[in-house]
Amino acid sequence: MNARTSTFRVPVQAVVWLLVLSPATSGATVVFDDHFEGNSGGVPVNWSGEGEGSIVEEGTTVSFYDEFVIWTNENFDPNATERTIIRNAIANTTNHTHVGLVDPAQFDNHIWIKLHALDGKIEVKASDINSGEEEIIVGYVSGYTGGAIQLTVVLESEIFSIATDTPSFSSGPISYTTVFTSFTRADLGNIAKLVLQNECEPTGPPCSSIYDRVTLEAGSTTSVVSETWGHIKSLYRQRT
């Protein structure tokens, strides 16, 4: 039935149930969550790492000093669901910080998001075995020069987006095929690892990044919930 031309009426006493699409992230399930409370004094439990610098997990943070990268021991299938969400709570960074996913079987396949503390620039570095690494600038977090910030990365099958809280930034939806030669989320394969990295300028001073929490969520782009007609009218009255 065409909703624009239908003329049926609902009796006043009838109870009508409607299916309403809920916000996109409501159907997400947290599949990985690390608040870095292990107090390991080094590489956090359930992670592996390497680099020329050092790393210290203490309290509820993990601190990177100079060049260092860690990746989860646990694998994740980024293509098992419609949407993958990475939320990275950064306590502070003095240079460049990365978060992303990498295919451990083919390390050339990866997508990393880099936040520059020096000017708030956000870059995406994506690579697949066929086209090599490509790097794009998605925008600038106005006024960001380090300090606490949450970086949220959403990877869907055809598009991705990046956002921050305070200062606020939103890239909006970006098509993989519009900005990359051949990279898509499918290039990450069915086995990927979550990655965090601190990066310094090659000729610059020592640098550091402090991560407070990182979560990985998976879910569909939308979920369906039921609402009564009376509740919908109540919500409408509240909005007006």
pLDDT tens-digit readout, 38-87: 999 999 999 999 999 999 999 999 999 999 999 999 999 999 999 999 99
How much of the chain exceeds pLDDT 70, in percent? 80
Residue whose token pair is 């030669």: 181
pLDDT above 50 (res 1): no
Ramachandran area for residue 120 (φ above 0: left; ψ -120 to 50: alpha; else beta):
left
Q: 102 in helix, strand or coil? A: strand
Ramachandran area for residue 229 (φ above 0: left; ψ -120 to 50: alpha; else beta):
alpha
- Could you tell me the residue ranges of all domains in the chain? 25-221
**More confident of the two residues 222 and 125:** 125
Q: 236 in helix, strand or coil? A: helix
* 199: its two tokens: 């990066």
CB 148, CB 165: distance < 8 Å: no
Whole-angstrom Cα distance, residue 170 to residue 163?
Answer: 4
Of 2.40.160.10, 2.60.120.200, 3.30.70.60, 3.40.50.300, the CATH number of 25-221 is 2.60.120.200
Neighbours of 151 (CB within 10 A): 23
Whole-angstrom Cα distance, residue 25 to residue 222?
Answer: 7
Global confidence as pTM: 0.80
Stretch 132-148: mean pLDDT:
95
Q: Which of 26-40, 132-146, 167-181 has the lowest average pLDDT?
A: 26-40
User: Which pLDDT score, from 0 to 100, does residue 237 have?
Assistant: 52
Whole-angstrom Cα distance, residue 207 to residue 199?
Answer: 7
CB 122, CB 138: distance < 8 Å: yes
Neighbours of 180 (CB within 10 A): 20
User: Which pLDDT score, from 0 to 100, does residue 134 have?
Assistant: 95
Reported confidence tier of residue 31, pLDDT bands at 50, 70, 90: very high
Whole-angstrom Cα distance, residue 129 to residue 23?
Answer: 35
Those residues with Cβ within 8 angstroms of residue 122's Cβ, 6 or more apart along the chain or in another chain: 113, 114, 115, 116, 137, 138, 139, 140, 141, 162, 164, 169, 171
> Residue 175 burial by CB count (10 A; 0-12/13-18/19+): exposed, middle or buried?
exposed
* 120: its two tokens: 């708030």
pLDDT above 90 (res 231): no
Element (H, E) at 178: helix 176-179
